[in-house]
Homo-oligomer: A and B are copies of this chain.
């Protein structure tokens, strides 16, 4: 038991570990447990709930776990079998009652989603206000500044109040880029090259898929990235949609089904997810050389919009995918879900705290010492993968290049910029 408890120096301040992600949405905490990563099967819906099924992967793992079970648990495995038939009948009846409870639970989770939606609507005026201030479309009010400074003084006893002056509209440069770079997971995905495009990111929005009343359809949510016109791509918005499975999982949590991203219409030679390799080739016959430019998938935040596809059930059953490959793919799928989850639950609701870095402190407190060790272990494995397949684009997990030079970026802001407005 103790082994399952996150014990660490920071564990009693807020949610003990990143797994225990506090639930929160827009800007309200969510009425949902973290959706879990489902069986790696494509578009598969369980008939009742996630039970032992025809999925060989699932069953293999269940078998493994049952092995552990036998080791760990003293309860005689023959206990139920030895019960008199009359008692067994009562046991089966209780299983029947449980099915009704599970149905009620499914309804409950849908209603939780409805509540999330309701509060997303209630918070929209606040989000609109936020974006107006970020863009410099509206002047902050004195009340807003006063409330903010009161909080700043609470957070930092050395906080020096700003000179009191009539507030004027003043955009916050690179607000969303900075916020994303202050998220532990995303800062690993954002390359130097990406920052050029992400400077044009003007808002990140959450919405829900509009099918909650139908119990047989897949619920989910959509993250919309809004961009100002830029030299990188034609799209005005890039979307990432996460679908949950229609039925909640064993312990009543939504399980992820799949994620879908917008196809990015890159302008010529601007695809940030590709790297060009210049190769000299020699013609064997003529002995002349020529220069060939070869596109190769490369690390980029924008790979987020081409999420990894879980392998099909058939592919697993036929053994088309080896174990290592499967594990790697699972890891990528989980990471993709984790990022979507964090955007929905943390970054969108608390963007200002990611911009200032305050949220990052809480994120780091959620990690216990074990995980910091893991991080160092990982670094040893940090090698360049030269696999050419697009779906396999390397997501660096430990390199910390994002966020560098924010001081310099700040220096680039013209202090007179806003006064001149």
Given A28-B105, A105-B349, verify A20-B22 contact (CB < 8 Å).
Answer: no
User: Which B residues touch A126, using CB under 8 A?
Assistant: 97, 100-101, 104
User: Which B residues touch A349, using CB under 8 A?
Assistant: 101, 105, 252
Task: Contact check, B95 vs A147: say whether CB atoms are below 8 A apart.
Answer: yes
Given A13-B61, A334-B16, A357-B75, verify A30-B33 contact (CB < 8 Å).
Answer: yes
Q: Which of B15, B22, B37, B408 contacts A11 (CB 8 A)?
A: B37
In the complex, chain A residues 73-100 whose Cβ is within 8 Å of any chain B Cβ: 73-76, 78-80, 82-100
Binds B, one of A149-157, A202-210, A216-224, A228-236: A149-157
> Could you give, for residues 378-421 of chain A, a 1 whenever the CB lies within 8 Å of some chain B CB and a 0 otherwise?
10000000000000000001101111111111110111111100
A133 within 8 A of B: yes
Binds B, one of A182-190, A257-265, A288-296, A301-309: A182-190
Task: Contact check, A115 vs B31: say whether CB atoms are below 8 A apart.
Answer: yes
Q: Which residue of B lies closest to A83 (CB)?
A: B410
- Give the shortest distance, in Å, between A268 (CB) and chain B (any CB): 31
User: How far is B368's CA from A68's CA once the two chains are assembled, in angstroms?
Assistant: 12
User: Which B residues touch A20, using CB under 8 A?
Assistant: 19-21, 33-34, 36
User: Which B residues touch A419, using CB under 8 A?
Assistant: 86
Q: Which of B14, B69, B357 contacts A360 (CB 8 A)?
A: B69
User: Which B residues touch A96, using CB under 8 A?
Assistant: 140, 143-148, 151
User: How far is B86's CA from A17's CA once the two chains are assembled, in angstroms?
Assistant: 37
User: Which B residues touch A104, using CB under 8 A?
Assistant: 27-28, 119, 122-123, 126
A271 within 8 A of B: no
Given A14-B255, A357-B69, verify A94-B61 contact (CB < 8 Å).
Answer: no
10 chain-A/chain-B pairs, Cβ below 8 angstroms: A2-B378, A7-B327, A10-B61, A11-B330, A16-B36, A20-B21, A75-B357, A85-B162, A93-B144, A98-B352
A367 within 8 A of B: yes
Q: Which of B82, B136, B154, B170 contacts A410 (CB 8 A)?
A: B82
User: Which B residues touch A154, using CB under 8 A?
Assistant: 47-48, 51-52
A134 within 8 A of B: yes
A167 within 8 A of B: yes
User: Which B residues touch A99, using CB under 8 A?
Assistant: 147-148, 151
User: How far is B80's CA from A353's CA once the two chains are assembled, in angstroms?
Assistant: 12
Give how many copies assemble into the complex.
Answer: 2
User: Which B residues touch A406, using CB under 8 A?
Assistant: 74-76, 79
- Give the shortest distance, in Å, between A341 (CB) and chain B (any CB): 11
- Give the shortest distance, in Å, between A71 (CB) and chain B (any CB): 9
A285 within 8 A of B: no
Q: Which residue of B lies closest to A310 (CB)?
A: B12
Q: Which of B146, B163, B327, B334 contacts A85 (CB 8 A)?
A: B163
User: How far is B68's CA from A365's CA once the two chains are assembled, in angstroms?
Assistant: 10
Q: Which residue of B lies closest to A82 (CB)?
A: B410
User: How far is B418's CA from A84's CA once the two chains are assembled, in angstroms?
Assistant: 9
User: How far is B29's CA from A70's CA once the two chains are assembled, in angstroms?
Assistant: 28
Given A50-B14, A184-B4, A410-B82, verify A372-B68 contact (CB < 8 Å).
Answer: yes
Given A48-B154, A134-B94, verify A22-B253 contact (CB < 8 Å).
Answer: yes
- Give the shortest distance, in Å, between A261 (CB) and chain B (any CB): 18
User: How far is B371's CA from A50's CA once the two chains are assembled, in angstroms?
Assistant: 23
Task: Contact check, A95 vs B152: say whether CB atoms are below 8 A apart.
Answer: yes
User: How far is B134's CA from A88's CA once the two chains are assembled, in angstroms?
Assistant: 11
User: Which B residues touch A250, using CB under 8 A?
Assistant: 14, 22, 362
A314 within 8 A of B: no
- Give the shortest distance, in Å, between A242 (CB) and chain B (any CB): 15
A276 within 8 A of B: no
Q: Which residue of B lies closest to A27 (CB)?
A: B101
